[in-house]
Structure 1
Amino acid sequence: MLHLTECPRDAMQGWPTFIPTTQKTAYLNALLRVGFDTLDFGSFVSPKAIPQLADTAQVLAGLDLKQSATRLLAIVANLRGAETAARYPQIRYIGFPLSVSETFQQRNTNKSIREALDDVARMQELCARTGQQQVVYLSMGFGNPYGDPWSPEILGEFTQKLDALAVGIVALSDTIGASVPATIAPPFRELTVAFPHIEFGAHLHTTPGTWREKVQAAYEAGCRRFDGALGGYGGCPMATDELTGNMPTERLIEFATEAGEDLQLNMGALAEAQVLNQGIFAAEPLPLAPSPKERGN
């Protein structure tokens, strides 16, 4: 079964003008009605680093969770952020970006990989006490622009360390849109066999013309957890000056439908969410089916 995580947090975090709290809340409530498996809704990080999401606690207070089975995920950058997220039992998942690139780990969290792994261990202990679950994102999971070492074997070494800490969900994260099928398929193919008890996800960034080959490579290699953002907006402002957009959720839905995956989504609610998405990002929402030209026919 394919699990979709909708990531409005990733879409909003680098947006240049502040999105009002009421507008964020209305949008997230619309997304909760769609029926996604998980909603990556906000983050508990320094407002100096990500001012757009400084109102995450206020947004959370306005979410209507009673009629939704969607689980909430919040991103943190350190143990302090995880402790804040742990105060809210509504949050099921606490996500932490652990980079396989030493350079990016420093840029993103001002810590070394060794220090970040120490944080992962303490956050795992925290989640065990609160009944929440940690999701570790292996950022720069398909290569990096800094010349730091990368290989499927390195991803395996990181996963071995996470497995020893009993981390149950690991998402390989593109971060900058560097992934291609040749770097996507081998890690998933190897990791899903070596660690069958871990749920592996794909957080891919893409350009409009390369989305299908990326999703197909991950899916055929065994990945069944995918992150996306309506309209393909977003990117990591800590990685490069120019952002490469998220995997469009519309395209993930299209691919899943073609693959025979029953996502059980409320398509009417999705259309309503697209309208709100347009109001926030001032662009036309993507159609749910591509044109023949987009298919390459």
Structure 2
Amino acid sequence: MRITAWISFVLNVAIIATGGTVRLTGSGLGCSDWPVCTPGSLVPTPELGIHGVIEFTNRTISGPLLLAAIAVFVLSWRLRSRTGRRDLRAISAVVLGLVVAQALVGAFVVWFHLNANLVGFHYVASLVLVCVTAAFLVRMYEPPLPRERAVPKGFAITTHITTFVMAITVVFGVLTTGAGPHSGDAAIVRDGFDAELLSHVHAWPGYAALTLTLVLVAWSVARRLRPMRWSLALLAVLVVQILVGVYQARNGLPPVAVGVHMVLASLTAATMTVVVLRLKRPAALAS
């Protein structure tokens, strides 16, 4: 089951990368219909060119993604029957439900011709899936025992505040992208917000999250707390994410940098998820 769970996580990150490629290459309507590519053709026709291939490739990943989610759910169900582990079954059910819902959202994105708000929601749903699959991986490697807090209360509160600030950063990042030039198709109308203003608003909670993460790192290193290694990992990926964000803002939003920024946002959120889960430990492992 471990290999399958890792495949599920990787595919959820990969579909963000391919979805970003669709948007950043103007291939959002490379396939003009759903679930078929065009009326009368399941696959892209030669007339659609490279845009059809890019959009169809993104759709194709949805198949293995769904199969992986089903496989993890079935394996978790069988494991629960043998060991009584309900947590993994519950998380896998959430993943499966979100994968199906995400596919339906993707259909509406096409039917409504890349509505900026729907596209933004589509990305957020993918990011949530990455976080939930990361949570599954964390719990999979821990014994099914009662859990207890493993850090000082103040550290736990600071961690949750950091999570909230990062969520705000993501929301404003989605709004900023929705107002920017990369709509997925040249004819698509954006969401009407001022992209330049939103880019500055998006940066403020990002820097606040960096400051809070530095606090978590210093605190966890000084006290040798359970989330220490993952706090350091969070700091590393967040610093890279901010550097990429600054680079893209100062260089006219080059598509490759924007795509990297999108993928890094999901990995940052996933790492934050692991830090949160490390606030507790199985009771039997308490020192």
TM-score range normalised by the length of the shorter chain: under 0.3
Larger radius of gyration: 2
Greater relative contact order (Cα < 8 A, sep 6+):
2
Structure richer in strand, relative to its length: 1
TM-score of the two chains, using structure 2 as the length reference: 0.26
